[in-house]
Amino acid sequence: MTGTLRDAPVTQGGSGESPADYEAVIGLEVHAQLLTRSKMFCGCPATYVDAEPNDNTCPVCLGLPGTLPVINRRAVEYTVRTALALHCEIPDFTKFDRKNYFYPDLPKGYQISQYDLPLSRDGHLEFSLDGRRVRCGITRVHLEEDTGTLHHAGDVLQSATSSLVDYNRSGVPLMEIVGEPDLRSAEEAREYLVRLRQILMYIGVNDGNLEQGSFRCDANVSVRPRGTETLGVKVEIKNMNSFRAVQRAVEYEIARQIAVLGGGGSLHQETRGWVEARGATVSQRSKEQAHDYRYFPEPDLAPLVLGAEFVEEVRRALPELPEARAARLVEQHGIGEYEAALLTATREEADSYERIVAAGVSARLAANWLGNEVMRLANAEHRPLTESGLGEDGLVALLRLVEAGTVNTTTAKALLEELYLTGGDPAAIVRDRGLGQVSDTEALGALVDAAITANPKAVADFQAGKETALQPVVGHVMKATRGRADARLVNRLLRERLSG
C-alpha cells in the first residue's frame, strides 16, 4: 500500500497515470570551443580567460566594415577529427552560412555558422551504462564562431544598471555537436556528455571546461506515453554548467512535464533556464518569439572542398579512443574492466600507466597503485603524477622496492604520500632512514614470541577458533618494527607457533 502511495504523487491528476507510463526523449546539443591558437576567421589569440577585456580583438572579430574573414585550417581539421571520432560521414562539399540576429555580444549582426551543408553528418556515440550498451546518433558536427560576452553590473535578476561587452571571445572557433533524440533518461544524458567530453579531450580538440563554458550543453527534453512513437512537445533547457546540473535539470524537466500532462494540462514549445539555486527550470521565452535567422550562404567565403586525401590524413592521425584503449589494457595486461576504465579516464593517465608498465613494473601492481593511492593523491593535491614531486620515474623506483620486498606496503604508501609533494629518491630514503622491510626470520621470530607472551587472551581466543583474534598479535610485531615487518611472514610465523 505504501509503495503505491509513494509511486503516485508526481502526476497529481485524475487520469490515474503514473510516471512509469511515460517515456522521456532527450537530445543534446553541445558547443565546444576548439583549442586552436588563433580565432576562427582572424589571427587574434583564441585564448581569452586571462586577457584584459577587449585585448584580443581586431577589425575582423569586431565586425568592422570592409573586413574579410579567412578560414582557420586547424579549426576545420579539429572538427573533422571530432566527426571521425564520432563515426560521422564527411561530405566532399561544405559551406558556411550567415545566421542573422541582433544581440550586443554579436558585433557583425550575424554569426558565421553552417546550415544545410555541414562539415559532417550521421555519426554515433556508443557507451556502456549499468551493464547495457547505449547508442546515440550524432546528427551533425559543424563549425561556427563564438560570440562575445556580456557583463552586467548591478542585480541581474532585478534590472541591471549597466552592461559591459567583451569581444575577446568573439570569433573563437566553436564546434556544435548535435545529438539525435536517442537518450531516455537523465543518467543516459549525463553519461553521454561525460563520454563525449572525454573523447574531445583525448583527441586534443577541447579542454572540457564546463565551468568556464568552453564545453557547454543544451538539452531538448520531451515525454510521451510509453509504447508510442510520436514525439511529444519539446522543451529546450539552457544554463547548465556541470554534469550534475545537466542530470538534475533533465530529471526535473521530465518530472515537470509528466506532472503537467498527468494533471490534464498541456505543454508548449519553449526555452527554459536551469536555476541551480532553486533546483528548477524556469521559462525564458516561448517558441512563438524565437528568431527567424534568415540563413543564407556566407558571401565572403568560398565553399570548402576538403578532398579525400585531407580526410584520410586526419583519420590516420586519430589516437586510440578511450573505450578501445580500456579494452586493449584488459586484454593485454589482464587487469579488470573497472580498473581499465579508471586508468583511461584521461589520455595523460593512460599514457602514465603504459609508460610505468613499459619501465618494467608489473601491470597489475601499477594498475593497483595508479587506480587507488596515486589517483587519490592527484585529486587531493590537484596535480597529476607527472607534475608531482615524485613523477613517473619516482613511482617506478618506489614500486620496484615493493616488488623486490625491500619495503612493505604500509611503508611504501607513507613514502608515496611524502614524496608526491617533496620528491626524492625512494631507494636512498629507505636506506638512509632504515625503512627496509624486516623479513629476517630469526629477528622476527623473537618479536613474534614476545608478542605471544604479551597477548595471552588474544592467543587463547585464536586457539579457540576466533580467526580475527590474531590481528592484535600481528599488530604488536608491526609496532615493534615501526611498521616495517613483512606482515605475511609475521602471520606465517605466528600460525606455525600457535598451531603447535
Chain residues that interact with Zn ion, rule: CB under 5 A: 42, 44, 58, 60-61
CA distance 388 to 252: 41
User: Exposed/middle/buried for 325, CB within 10 Å: 0-12, 13-18, 19+?
Assistant: buried
What is the nearest approach in angstroms of Zn ion to the Cβ of residue 46? 10
Residues paired with 181 in a beta bridge: none
What is the nearest approach in angstroms of Zn ion to the Cβ of residue 94? 23
What is the nearest approach in angstroms of Zn ion to the Cβ of residue 169? 11
- Nearer CB in complex with Zn ion: 42/401: 42
User: Exposed/middle/buried for 277, CB within 10 Å: 0-12, 13-18, 19+?
Assistant: exposed
What is the nearest approach in angstroms of Zn ion to the Cβ of residue 152? 24
CA distance 76 to 301: 14
- Nearer CB in complex with Zn ion: 56/406: 56
What is the β-pairing status of strands 270-275 and 173-179?
A: unpaired
What is the nearest approach in angstroms of Zn ion to the Cβ of residue 61? 3
- Nearer CB in complex with Zn ion: 58/280: 58
Contacts of 285 (CB under 8 A, 6+ apart): 270, 271
What is the nearest approach in angstroms of Zn ion to the Cβ of residue 165? 15
Q: Which residue has the cell 579567412?
A: 70
CA distance 19 to 288: 29
What is the nearest approach in angstroms of Zn ion to the Cβ of residue 134? 41
Q: Please compute, for residue 473, the number of CA atoms within 13 A of its CA located in the half-sphere on the CB side.
A: 31
What is the nearest approach in angstroms of Zn ion to the Cβ of residue 39? 5
Displacement of CA 83 from its chain's centroid (Å): 19
- Nearer CB in complex with Zn ion: 44/235: 44
**Contact between 255 and 54 (Cβ < 8 Å):** no
- Nearer CB in complex with Zn ion: 56/271: 56
What amino acid occupies position 389? Answer: G
Cα–Cα nearest to 357, from 334, 333, 381: 333
- Nearer CB in complex with Zn ion: 24/44: 44
Q: Please compute, for residue 465, the number of CA atoms within 13 A of its CA located in the half-sphere on the CB side.
A: 0
- Nearer CB in complex with Zn ion: 60/435: 60
What is the nearest approach in angstroms of Zn ion to the Cβ of residue 58? 3
What is the nearest approach in angstroms of Zn ion to the Cβ of residue 118? 24
DSSP H or E run through 134: strand 132-145
For helices 456-463 and 471-480, angle between their N-to-C axes, nearest 10 degrees: 140
Contacts of 22 (CB under 8 A, 6+ apart): 223, 224, 225, 226, 254, 258, 261
Provide the b/e sequence for 29-62 (b: ≥16 CB within 10 Å).
Answer: bbbbbbbbebbbbbebebbbeeeeeeebbeebbb
- Nearer CB in complex with Zn ion: 172/490: 172
- Nearer CB in complex with Zn ion: 109/334: 109
- Nearer CB in complex with Zn ion: 40/250: 40
What amino acid occupies position 273? Answer: G
